[in-house]
C-alpha cells in the first residue's frame, strides 16, 4: 500500500512539473515567434508645414493602408523660436485614423529654457485636445547627443508630470538614434517614454547615402536585444542633394529648401524602393523581433514633393506589390495642329525611373521650331540609310519620370510612319 502511495505521489509530481514547464516561455518559443511571418503595421509622418490641396489628396488616397498619422505640429529652432505647422483638421478627420502630434526640438535643450519649452508643449497639447480630433499621443523628435541622454530623460519625466497636472495623458514616444543604444543612459530615456521610434535613415547615419540595409538590420537587432518595450522603425522614401565645398570636406544636405551656392559639387541621392521593400520583406518573413510593432515612413509623399517617391511607388511598397517597370516612347497627335505629333515617354509601371538615356526616332521626321526638352540634346543623322533623330540625355542626374506619369520630349512632324526606340 505504501509503495502504491509513493508511486502515485511521484506520478502527480511529474505531471505537475510538466504542467509548469509548459506554462513557461522558452528560448525556443521566442525564436519561433521571431521566425513566424507577420505583417508589420505602417504609419507615416506628415512633415509639411504648409498644407496644399495635393497634401489632402495624398492623405485621402493613402489612409486605407496606414494605422495612424504622425503630424508635425510645431518645431523649436536652434534659436529658441517656435514655428507652427499650418495643419488642417478636415483631411485628418476624414481619414478616420488616430493622430500623433510630433514636435521637433532643434539644438541642445540645455541652451533653451527647459521650463518654457515644457510649458509651450503643454499649451500645444491643450489646443490639440480642443480641436476635437483623435490625438492619441505625442512624439518628441530631438537628436540629443549621447552624453546628454540623462538630461533628456529628466526633461521627458518633467514633461509627463506637467501634462498629467494639466489633465493630459497622451502616450509619449521619442525618436531614437542608433548611437544611443550603446549608452547606459538610453534606458532612462526609454523608461521616461511609452515607446520609441528608431531612426534608420539619413546621410548623418549612413555617410554618402540615406539608407543602408545592413546597418539597419544591426540597429534593429541591438534595440530588440536591449529592451522588451514596443518600438517602431522609421524608414525613408525620399532623396536629397549632397553638396561639397571642396574635396574631402563634409557634405551639406539639401532636402526641401535649396542651398544656393556657386562652386559646390553636387550629387543627387535617392533611396531605392526595391532596397527598402527587400528590407521590409526580410523582417516580415525571417525575423521581425516580437516587440517591433511597425514602420513609420518619412514622409507622406505628394505631387509637389520632387524629392520623394511618387505616391504610386510608395503605395505599391505599402501593399507589398512587385515593383514592375513599363517605360516606352510613343507618338500622339498634337492638339489643334494637324500633322504635328508629340513624342512622349510613358511610365506605366509602379516604379519611378530615371529619364531614358536616349530616344531614337527613325524616319523622315523633323523638330517643330527646332525645340526639345532642355534635358536632352538632339542630333540628326543617317543610320543604315535611314534618317534618324537622336535625343540624348545631357547628364545622369537630369530627373526622373514618376510612376503612372508621362512627359513630352518634343513636337515633331514626319512624312511617313516612324520607328521609335528607347535606350535606358
Encode the chain in three state secondary structure.
CHHHHHHHHHHHHHHHHHHHHHHCCCHHHHHHHHHCCCCCEEEEEECCCCCCHHHHHHHHHHHHHCCEEEEEEEEECCCCCEEECCCCHHHHHHHCCCEEEEEEECCCHHHCCHHHHHHHHHHHHHHHHHCCCCEEEEEEECCCCHHHHHHHHHHHHHHHHHHHHCCCCCEEEEEECHHHHHCCCHHHHHHCCCEEEEECCCCCCCCCCCCCHHHHHHHHHHHHHHCCCCEEEEEECEEEEEEECCCCCCCEEECCCCCCCCCCEEEEEECCHHHHHHHHHHHHHHCCCCCEEEEEEECCCCCCCCCECCHHHHHHHHHCCCCCCCEEEEEEECCCCCCEEEEEEEECCCCCEECCCEEEEECCEEEEEEEECCCEEEEEEEECCEEEEEEEECCCCCCEECCCEEEEEEEEEECCCCEEEEEC
Query: What pLDDT is attached to residue 108?
Result: 86
pLDDT-derived band at 249 (thresholds 50, 70, 90) equals low
- In this predicted structure, which of 87-96, 242-251, 381-390 has the lowest mean pLDDT? 242-251
Q: What percent of the chain has pLDDT over 70?
A: 86
What are the structural domains, with CATH classification, of the chain? 28-319 (3.20.20.80), 327-423 (2.70.40)
Query: What pLDDT is attached to residue 73?
Result: 98
Query: What pLDDT is attached to residue 370?
Result: 74
pLDDT-derived band at 3 (thresholds 50, 70, 90) equals very low
Q: Over 50: is that where the pLDDT of 22 sits?
A: no
Query: What pLDDT is attached to residue 266?
Result: 66
User: pTM, whole model, 2 decimals?
Assistant: 0.87
> CB–CB of 121/82 below 8 Å?
no
Reported as a single tens digit per residue, the pLDDT across 130-156 is: 999 999 999 999 999 999 999 999 999
Query: What pLDDT is attached to residue 8?
Result: 40
pLDDT-derived band at 28 (thresholds 50, 70, 90) equals very low
Average pLDDT over residues 283-296: 94
Query: What pLDDT is attached to residue 241?
Result: 78
Query: What pLDDT is attached to residue 206?
Result: 77
Q: Over 90: is that where the pLDDT of 10 sits?
A: no
Average pLDDT over residues 101-111: 89
Alpha-carbon distance 101 to 122, whole Å? 12
Q: Over 70: is that where the pLDDT of 34 sits?
A: no
Query: What pLDDT is attached to residue 386?
Result: 86
Query: What pLDDT is attached to residue 242?
Result: 77
Q: What percent of the chain has pLDDT over 90?
A: 74
Q: Over 60: is that where the pLDDT of 20 sits?
A: no
Q: Over 80: is that where the pLDDT of 25 sits?
A: no
- In this predicted structure, which of 148-162, 326-340, 372-386 has the lowest mean pLDDT? 372-386
Amino acid at each position: 500500500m505504501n509503495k502504491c502511495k509513493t508511486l502515485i505521489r511521484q506520478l502527480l509530481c511529474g505531471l505537475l512539473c510538466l504542467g509548469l514547464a509548459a506554462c513557461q516561455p522558452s528560448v525556443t518559443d521566442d525564436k519561433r515567434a521571431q521566425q513566424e511571418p507577420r505583417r508589420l503595421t505602417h504609419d507615416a509622418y506628415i512633415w509639411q508645414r504648409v498644407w496644399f490641396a495635393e497634401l489632402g489628396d495624398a492623405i485621402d488616397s493613402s489612409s486605407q493602408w496606414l494605422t495612424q498619422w504622425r503630424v508635425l505640429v510645431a518645431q523649436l529652432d536652434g534659436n529658441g523660436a517656435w514655428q507652427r505647422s499650418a495643419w488642417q483638421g478636415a483631411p485628418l478627420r476624414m481619414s478616420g485614423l488616430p493622430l500623433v502630434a510630433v514636435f521637433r526640438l532643434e539644438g541642445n535643450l540645455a541652451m533653451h529654457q527647459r521650463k518654457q519649452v515644457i510649458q509651450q508643449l503643454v499649451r500645444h497639447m491643450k489646443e490639440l485636445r480642443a480641436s476635437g480630433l483623435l490625438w492619441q499621443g505625442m512624439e518628441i523628435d530631438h537628436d540629443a547627443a549621447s552624453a546628454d541622454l540623462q538630461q533628456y530623460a529628466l526633461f521627458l519625466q518633467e514633461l509627463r508630470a506637467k501634462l498629467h497636472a494639466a489633465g493630459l495623458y497622451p502616450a509619449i514616444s521619442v525618436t531614437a538614434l542608433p548611437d544611443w543604444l550603446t549608452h547606459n543612459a538610453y534606458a532612462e530615456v526609454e523608461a521616461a517614454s511609452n515607446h520609441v521610434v528608431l531612426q534608420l535613415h539619413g546621410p548623418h547615419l549612413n555617410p554618402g547615402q540615406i539608407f543602408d540595409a545592413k546597418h539597419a538590420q544591426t540597429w534593429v537587432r541591438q534595440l530588440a536585444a536591449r529592451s522588451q518595450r514596443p518600438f517602431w522603425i522609421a524608414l525613408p522614401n525620399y532623396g536629397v542633394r549632397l553638396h561639397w565645398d571642396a574635396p574631402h570636406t563634409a557634405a551639406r544636405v539639401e532636402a526641401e529648401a535649396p542651398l544656393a551656392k556657386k562652386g559646390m559639387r553636387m550629387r543627387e541621392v535617392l533611396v531605392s524602393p526595391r532596397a527598402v521593400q527587400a528590407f521590409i520583406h526580410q523582417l516580415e518573413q525571417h525575423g521581425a523581433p516580437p516587440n517591433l510593432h511597425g514602420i513609420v515612413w518619412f514622409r507622406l509623399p505628394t505631387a509637389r514633393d520632387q524629392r520623394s517617391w511618387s505616391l504610386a511607388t510608395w503605395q505599391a511598397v505599402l501593399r507589398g506589390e512587385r515593383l514592375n517597370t513599363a517605360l516606352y516612347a510613343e507618338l500622339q497627335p498634337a492638339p489643334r495642329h494637324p500633322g504635328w505629333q508629340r513624342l512622349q515617354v510613358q511610365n506605366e509601371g509602379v516604379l519611378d525611373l530615371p529619364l531614358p538615356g536616349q530616344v531614337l526616332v527613325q524616319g523622315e521626321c523633323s523638330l517643330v521650331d527646332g525645340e526639345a526638352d532642355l534635358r536632352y540634346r538632339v542630333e540628326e543623322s543617317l543610320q543604315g540609310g535611314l534618317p534618324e533623330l537622336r535625343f540624348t540625355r545631357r547628364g545622369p542626374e537630369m530627373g526622373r519620370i514618376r510612376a503612372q506619369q508621362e512627359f513630352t520630349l518634343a513636337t515633331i512632324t514626319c512624312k511617313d510612319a516612324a520607328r521609335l526606340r528607347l535606350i535606358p
